[in-house]
Structure 1
Amino acid sequence: MTMVEREAELALLEALLAGAVMGRGRVALVDGAVATGKSMLLHTFAEQAIELGALAVSATGSPLERDMPLGVLRQLVEDAPLMPQERERALSLLDEGVRAVKAGDVDGRPRLDAQLVSALCGVLLELSERCPLVLVVDDVHHADAASLLCLAYLARRLRLARIVAVFGHSDQARHTDTYFQTELLRQPHCRRVKLTRLSRSGVVAMVARQVGREPAERLADEWYAHSGGNPLLVTALAEDYAELARSAQQQPPAAVVAGEQYGRAVLACLDRGDPRTARVARGLAVLGDPGSLDRLLGIPATDVSRDLHALTATGLTSLGTFRHEAARQAVVAAMDAEERAELHRRAAELSYGAGASPGVVARHLLEAGRVDAPWGVDVLQEAARSALRAGQVDTAVGYLRLASQVCADETRRAKIMTLLVRAEWRINPAAPAGRLAQLAEAMHRGSLRGSDAVVLARALLWHGRVDDARDVLDQVHELGGSADPETLAELLVARLWLRAAYPPFLAGLREAPGEAGLAGIVSVSASRRLESALALAEVLAQGPREEHADAVERILEGSGLEEMSLDTIENSLLTLVYAGRSDRAVPWCDLFAAEATARQAPSRRARLAAIRAEIAVRRGDMPAAERHARSALKIIPVSGWGVAVGGPLGVLILALTAMGRYEAVREALDVPVPDAMFQTRYGLHYLHARGRHSLATGYPALALRDFQRCGDLMREWNLDTPGLIPWRAEAAEACLRMGQVEEAGELARAQLDGGVPDDPRGRGVALRVLAATLAPAARPPLLRQATGCLQAAGDAYELGRALADLVETYEALGEYRRARTVSARVRAVAAECGAPAPDAAPSPAGDAEVAPRPPAAEPVGALSDAERRVASLAAAGYTNREIATRLYITVSTVEQHLTRTYRKLGITRRADLPLVLEFDDQAAI
């Protein structure tokens, strides 16, 4: 096998062997750092010995056999091709030598008779007279002392023998007697062969043999940086790369991969080296930098420096740190659990004493799994807050869990657990459910008070534990005037939140003293939370107002996800949604969702996805609504959503129903929901969606029941605004399906009468349903108003429904040309929102023959912009007065524009106007 950058060394050994064959014995000491290729060089040389006219006899030292007398020499004797009598004599001498060694030593050296040593060495010397020998002893630094004594004796006497003795030796080893190396190197026939790490080009050449030239050269800097030129590490990196390339089966990896093989190679390098060097490596892996290793390990600084140098020479470290994080992790993972914990405990103390950041100290405490120092809990809390601010939620949870376990003060432990609940909530709201009972007990014992108790109450409500939540808040209210401003702020915000999300709960809750004048003394953060909660509550109770939208956008503007609670963001976004400003909510929602992803906050990402789904369904984008709703329910499982599951689940049902995917809807309806959900705003969304499905699948009575129940709750809770749910229009449609036309008309008019000017969506839906209660001749004006409102609201799905009703009305009136014109628009809108396209509008026999031909493009292009706008509306069926109102011009002006249009197009009547899409498909319907 061809070696990389070892050709000169191999040639030197071959030259020594050539001289030995001629009777000039030689000794070679091959040394270098661990895993620099010494064994490979010796193995290759031994394999080539036969080609050079010699026999190879080999042995390998081992730390496990260092106390086995004459173990290495026995390997050589057993590997030598001796005659039976010679082998028997040699083994007898070895046994005698073992007995002598075990009998005792002199001055720390084994007691061996000189004649016995001479006889043992004579066995190999005599063999060399018959055939030149290559004696190869690898890892000689692990050989037993008796074998070293004999090998040193042999080395001195083989100058005139046909023997080349090659010893592989680690230059970081401490276990070889110094006299052995001294004896070898002082001999004039001994040559030292120093192996160094591979160069950059050598690394590339070695990698190229395993993975090919292109990735070897493309990633040359990485191969070299991660391996340091250590052949063992280079080979391991190449194996990891090749394994990943095979599994990818497409594009090759874009970077060097430090995987399982690399970790094993790192550990192999440490196992082959000195145990103390390995211990220093473990300390470095724990501490992260070499600054305090001597104090961490209790080793003199000079020895630590020597071992660090050995690690660098091996290629494992550079500038006092591991070359790759995977190397450090491999070392840590291989450590004994007890040793690792103790090192981390001591590292925590050293880091704290050196003034390290709380995060550094807390990481060591967490790895140690215990806190002995009195400052430990403080450090863990501060580190957790810093981690939460940085978006490292999992790390913060680990710190808080340890702090709650070791904290002896019950009141403080309750506060830590409250912070832990908040942190776990960012990952999955179901995660902290098991801690709520503990916090409730702490509340009863008086250990949990103030704003932390309000947080507990809200968590209990999320999971439907209404009675427990009421009990907690009642206890907070009992504090009366002794409550601190922070607690009063939390109470006031909580009451507004309850008003918008849990109205029945608010009805039975006692007023908290001191809340009325709190707004002026709370913090900026609390003020924002208060303002956003108030805006949402007022939009739900009174309907949309432009000032509400402006107020919440000011709150959102320039704020990051960590600068305010998610409640503030949710309230602000939902205010925009329920105020009919979904288009303004989209960029904010996407911005915060991206930030939640970057900060690794799954719970926040899921809740924002639920809002994004609600936005999509109100804009009529049903595929997007389904996608975001499913994402929300995937990030947080249904069990983690608690009573809020009605939000994303309701949107999913609405979207699937609108797209006609009723089988998928049935799967969504089979998902179990908590009974407490129907006493929340989320339950209203679920009822609405279920009613829509019943209506679409031919069960209008069931649908009416859900819509009426929805309306009853909204009136009872003072949330009766179409911006939340247009339940009257939905109930009216159910009545129409049941033949109750009069009741339907009353419901539709009631929604119109109770609506507000800033709610074009609710008004458009009601106008569409009201038109269906009238005779066909009376419908077009209402339907055209409905389409105008829905187009302004940006709801493609409801716009499509209104357009479809307009097509049906034109057909009933025999205006097939207009029906066909609008039908094209219906199909376009249906495709936009993912809903099934309606059937093409039929026309009477012969209609195609008598239909007027559209004019050529040139005459149409001769119209002015004003003439085109008027002609578009006229072609769509608007009267002159309606056109005048829509375009803010006089009726006389409309007539003048039409007259000029007829003349330019060469037609005489309105029915001959070209199709609306020839003009402007957005302006006229």
Structure 2
Amino acid sequence: MLCVVRALAVLGGAASVTDVARLAGVDATVTSWALHALVSAGLLTEGHAFRHPVAATAVLDDMPADSRAALHRAAAELLHEAGAPALTVAGQLMSAGDPRADCATEVLVTASDEALAAGDVGTALGCLDLAQRTRTDDPTAARIRARLSRLEWQLKPQVAVRHLRPQLSDFTAGHLDRREVSELVLGLANAGALTELTALLDALRTRAHQGAGSGTEDLRPLTNWAAMAYPLHTGLRKLAQSVAAATPEAAPCHDPWLPSAVTLADDLIRGRDDQLVHRAELLLRTFHLDHGSLWNAEAGALALRALLYAGRPDEVVAWCEKLEAEAVAHHAVAWQGKFLAIRAEAHLRQGDLIRAHDLAARAMALVASQGWGIGLAGVLGCAILAATRSGRLEQAEKYVAQPIPEPVLHSRHGAHYLHARGHYRLATHHPQAALADFLACGRFAETWNAPGADTVSWRTSAAEAWLAQDDQDQAKRLVREQIARLFPGPSRARGLCLRTLAAVSRVTRRPQLLTEAVDMLKDSGDDYELARALIDLSIAFKDTGDQRNARRVAHRAWHLAKQTGAEHLCREAALDPIDPEAEQAAKQRQDGLSALTTQERRIALLAAKGYTNREIAAKLYITASTVEQHLTRVFRKVNVKRRQDLPHFL
């Protein structure tokens, strides 16, 4: 009786008499009698399933560990012979915790694919983890290791690095296919293993010259991408140039995400804004997270950064929120952290310092530092800059103190980290160290040599560092260099330049330059930089004796600085604070806000930021007359007479 009960508990569900008998090693007649007795006793249903799951668990827990494992292995063999689904057989093998069954390798790999297709990534990972412990030939072991590595980079990036060295051996032995080679390149690059990465690509080049070897088909895009990932690495740059001169274009790739990632990275660093935005939009329209390719998330992240650097942070925030939710559904922690970090950077570009910092902190809490690889520099840089700009220098100091591997500073993320650290050093009164960081950012820009604005505004930042050392000539030289590189027309980068240029111009010219800077920064959507320009403009009006305009602009600067989380800027600039009585009156009328409709609130917020009725109408696709009507109702509800008073309530 006991052996029948144990066999039934191991098989689970409503097992057939034949299967229970075979597993228990008991005659079918005896098994049938035992099952009938258990049904009569109320322990089993008519279908031979335990009435209470706890009963089956108690039976299994009562078995010696070795006997239980042996019974699960035997059940796996039995079910496999009977043609049971791979996932069912794999469940027995994982319960055994021992893959010594003859069918283990084939079943576990197949079950992993089935689990992944069903969205059960935990089971897929467990199957592959067990499969790599089976005794099999080297090519099969390499295939299992590659699949396990692919999933771990997505789900457990902090442990995935353990596969890199064995996979290099697999590559040397010729056991990796085309996709696995390309993903090994990505893994080595993300881990900062530059010596191994360069050696691998050089070996691929040798194989290409010999006309044999998997992965050689993608040699050109892989070397290009590696050189763009590490723009300061001379060896990778020279290798990419050599390959480009001697290697034809890559053959069509079965992984669509690799060529997309390479093309986006190339456009991004060469400043091809028109092509870049178009390609990014096309990719994102059909983008979905794909467990079958590590290049998938890389391509998506590059598309999002393309839109971000093109001045479209609102769209980036919306895309990131969507993709974060998808990553959570896929249990893909690495993907979720990546999109959180990009969303944090988008909020930083909008001047929303508190939200940017909180999202960056969430991303770093979600993924351990060793799981970020070179991406740690990007998210850490965002956290440093957000904390610095919001005046939380103690918090920024903790981020700066976090160790960064040397290869990270040679990667494309290094420029963002150095730029952020430079601003922290500038804020803590170390202008020479800050200047060194900003000029180091310039090395990236010189390597890329892209026209237009750089991905980090290193020249205007370096100009600020020179100004902190009272060297106006150097500051003026850098600002003029940057202006000469910009494309015609208003832009965020030009607004930053004009603000800095005002600091080295005559007092009488400053209001004009800063007014232009304010208009450009307002249109860019960067409220933090707009607040800085407004503070400078208020001081410029005051210096020229225009007290009325100085107070008006100071009033606007205070509220915008408060909105962005950077009130300390106004205090440091010694601007006159808002009249306490007027502030109290505004608070008493705060209830009027609850009466505003969504459209009224939207229009009021734009008006408070300084947009004209015509500009608001263009943004919201309504008429200027409609805007005026809405504002009239807003003024009545919140009891103000002028749009300049609106920031009190918003």
TM-score for the superposition, normalised by structure 2: 0.82
1:298 lines up with 2:63 in the alignment: no
1:555 lines up with 2:287 in the alignment: no
Q: For the structure 1 residues 617 and 303, does the alpha-carbon distance in structure 2 shift closer, same or farther, using more than 3 Å as the test?
A: farther
Q: CA deviation at 1:644?
A: 2.3
Q: For the structure 1 residues 552 and 331, does the alpha-carbon distance in structure 2 shift closer, same or farther, using more than 3 Å as the test?
A: farther
The counterpart of 1:511, out of the listed 214, 230, 243, is 243
Structure 1 stretch displaced more, 400-409 or 611-620: 400-409
**Counterparts of 1:756 and 1:324, CA distance in 2:** 73
> What does residue 585 of structure 2 align with?
none
Contact 1:481-1:514 at 8 Å conserved across structures = no
> What does residue 667 of structure 1 align with?
398
**Higher RCO (C-alpha 8 Å, min separation 6):** 2
Q: How does 1:307-386 map to 2 (within 5 A)?
A: 307-308=34-35, 318=45, 319-322=47-50, 328-372=56-100, 375-386=103-114
Q: CA deviation at 1:511?
A: 1.0
Q: For the structure 1 residues 360 and 887, does the alpha-carbon distance in structure 2 shift closer, same or farther, using more than 3 Å as the test?
A: closer
**Counterparts of 1:658 and 1:745, CA distance in 2:** 23
Which deviations, in whole Å up to 9, do the C-alpha atoms of 1:245-285 show, x marking residues without a partner? xxxxxxxxxxxxxxxxxxxxxxxxxxxxx635642542343
Q: CA deviation at 1:316?
A: 5.5
**Counterparts of 1:758 and 1:370, CA distance in 2:** 67
- The alignment-based identity, stated in percent, is 32
> What does residue 442 of structure 1 align with?
170
The counterpart of 2:326, out of the listed 590, 595, 610, is 595
Which deviations, in whole Å up to 9, do the C-alpha atoms of 1:302-324 show, x marking residues without a partner? 55455445555666555544456
**Counterparts of 1:429 and 1:819, CA distance in 2:** 53
Q: How does 1:566-585 map to 2 (within 5 A)?
A: 566-585=297-316
The counterpart of 1:430, out of the listed 158, 182, 185, is 158
1:540 lines up with 2:269 in the alignment: yes
Q: CA deviation at 1:500?
A: 3.4
Contact 2:11-2:75 at 8 Å conserved across structures = no
**Counterparts of 1:813 and 1:595, CA distance in 2:** 55
Q: CA deviation at 1:756?
A: 2.9
Amino acid aligned to 1:459: G
1:827 lines up with 2:596 in the alignment: no
Residue 409 of structure 2 aligns to a residue whose secondary structure is: helix
> What does residue 140 of structure 2 align with?
412
Contact 1:543-1:723 at 8 Å conserved across structures = no
Amino acid aligned to 1:602: V
Q: For the structure 1 residues 803 and 341, does the alpha-carbon distance in structure 2 shift closer, same or farther, using more than 3 Å as the test?
A: same
Q: For the structure 1 residues 475 and 336, does the alpha-carbon distance in structure 2 shift closer, same or farther, using more than 3 Å as the test?
A: same
Amino acid aligned to 1:282: A
Residue 570 of structure 1 aligns to a residue whose secondary structure is: helix
Which deviations, in whole Å up to 9, do the C-alpha atoms of 1:735-779 show, x marking residues without a partner? 122111222122112222212358822222222111222123212
Which deviations, in whole Å up to 9, do the C-alpha atoms of 1:155-191 show, x marking residues without a partner? xxxxxxxxxxxxxxxxxxxxxxxxxxxxxxxxxxxxx
Q: How does 1:835-846 map to 2 (within 5 A)?
A: 835-837=566-568, 838-839=570-571, 841-842=575-576
Amino acid aligned to 2:300: I
The counterpart of 1:387, out of the listed 108, 111, 115, is 115
1:792 lines up with 2:523 in the alignment: yes
Higher helix share: 2
Amino acid aligned to 1:763: R
**Counterparts of 1:576 and 1:538, CA distance in 2:** 12
Which deviations, in whole Å up to 9, do the C-alpha atoms of 1:410-441 show, x marking residues without a partner? 12212221222111111232312222222223
**Counterparts of 1:648 and 1:359, CA distance in 2:** 39
> What does residue 604 of structure 1 align with?
335
Q: For the structure 1 residues 360 and 680, does the alpha-carbon distance in structure 2 shift closer, same or farther, using more than 3 Å as the test?
A: same
Q: For the structure 1 residues 920 and 638, does the alpha-carbon distance in structure 2 shift closer, same or farther, using more than 3 Å as the test?
A: closer
Contact 1:579-1:723 at 8 Å conserved across structures = no
> What does residue 618 of structure 1 align with?
349
Q: Which runs of 5+ in 1 are unaligned?
A: 1-273, 849-868, 889-913
**Counterparts of 1:887 and 1:472, CA distance in 2:** 57
Residue 479 of structure 1 aligns to a residue whose secondary structure is: helix
Contact 2:269-2:448 at 8 Å conserved across structures = no
Q: For the structure 1 residues 780 and 488, does the alpha-carbon distance in structure 2 shift closer, same or farther, using more than 3 Å as the test?
A: farther
Q: CA deviation at 1:367?
A: 2.7
Q: For the structure 1 residues 329 and 561, does the alpha-carbon distance in structure 2 shift closer, same or farther, using more than 3 Å as the test?
A: farther
Residue 405 of structure 1 aligns to a residue whose secondary structure is: coil
**Counterparts of 1:842 and 1:553, CA distance in 2:** 45
Q: For the structure 1 residues 665 and 414, does the alpha-carbon distance in structure 2 shift closer, same or farther, using more than 3 Å as the test?
A: same
**Counterparts of 2:76 and 2:457, CA distance in 1:** 60
Contact 1:691-1:704 at 8 Å conserved across structures = yes
Structure 1 stretch displaced more, 588-597 or 395-404: 395-404
Contact 2:219-2:250 at 8 Å conserved across structures = no
Structure 1 stretch displaced more, 594-603 or 638-647: 638-647
**Counterparts of 1:492 and 1:921, CA distance in 2:** 58
> What does residue 454 of structure 1 align with?
182
Contact 2:205-2:216 at 8 Å conserved across structures = no
**Counterparts of 2:247 and 2:37, CA distance in 1:** 69
The counterpart of 2:193, out of the listed 453, 459, 465, is 465
Q: For the structure 1 residues 349 and 514, does the alpha-carbon distance in structure 2 shift closer, same or farther, using more than 3 Å as the test?
A: farther
Q: Which runs of 5+ in 2 are unaligned?
A: 583-602, 619-640
Q: For the structure 1 residues 821 and 372, does the alpha-carbon distance in structure 2 shift closer, same or farther, using more than 3 Å as the test?
A: same
Q: CA deviation at 1:288?
A: 6.8
TM-score for the superposition, normalised by structure 1: 0.58
Q: For the structure 1 residues 513 and 309, does the alpha-carbon distance in structure 2 shift closer, same or farther, using more than 3 Å as the test?
A: farther
Q: For the structure 1 residues 501 and 719, does the alpha-carbon distance in structure 2 shift closer, same or farther, using more than 3 Å as the test?
A: farther
Amino acid aligned to 1:710: C
Q: How does 1:156-235 map to 2 (within 5 A)?
A: none
Q: For the structure 1 residues 382 and 885, does the alpha-carbon distance in structure 2 shift closer, same or farther, using more than 3 Å as the test?
A: closer
Amino acid aligned to 2:127: Y
Q: CA deviation at 1:448?
A: 3.8
Contact 1:731-1:744 at 8 Å conserved across structures = yes
> What does residue 531 of structure 1 align with?
260
Contact 1:348-1:362 at 8 Å conserved across structures = yes
Which deviations, in whole Å up to 9, do the C-alpha atoms of 1:378-421 show, x marking residues without a partner? 22222223333444333223222332222431122122212221
Which deviations, in whole Å up to 9, do the C-alpha atoms of 1:41-93 show, x marking residues without a partner? xxxxxxxxxxxxxxxxxxxxxxxxxxxxxxxxxxxxxxxxxxxxxxxxxxxxx
Which deviations, in whole Å up to 9, do the C-alpha atoms of 1:783-837 show, x marking residues without a partner? 2222222222221211111111111112212222222222232222223222225
Contact 1:282-1:335 at 8 Å conserved across structures = no
Residue 508 of structure 1 aligns to a residue whose secondary structure is: helix
**Counterparts of 2:41 and 2:210, CA distance in 1:** 67
Q: For the structure 1 residues 407 and 657, does the alpha-carbon distance in structure 2 shift closer, same or farther, using more than 3 Å as the test?
A: same
> What does residue 361 of structure 2 align with?
630
> What does residue 375 of structure 2 align with?
644
> What does residue 851 of structure 1 align with?
none
Q: How does 1:704-723 map to 2 (within 5 A)?
A: 704-718=435-449, 722-723=453-454
Amino acid aligned to 2:264: A
Which deviations, in whole Å up to 9, do the C-alpha atoms of 1:428-484 show, x marking residues without a partner? 323122222222233333434544233223322222221111111111222217778
Which deviations, in whole Å up to 9, do the C-alpha atoms of 1:560-605 show, x marking residues without a partner? 2127621121121121122222211112111111111111111221
**Counterparts of 1:484 and 1:317, CA distance in 2:** 62
Contact 1:280-1:304 at 8 Å conserved across structures = no
Structure 1 stretch displaced more, 561-570 or 276-285: 276-285
> What does residue 636 of structure 2 align with?
none
Contact 2:80-2:103 at 8 Å conserved across structures = no
**Counterparts of 1:716 and 1:736, CA distance in 2:** 26
Q: For the structure 1 residues 378 and 817, does the alpha-carbon distance in structure 2 shift closer, same or farther, using more than 3 Å as the test?
A: same
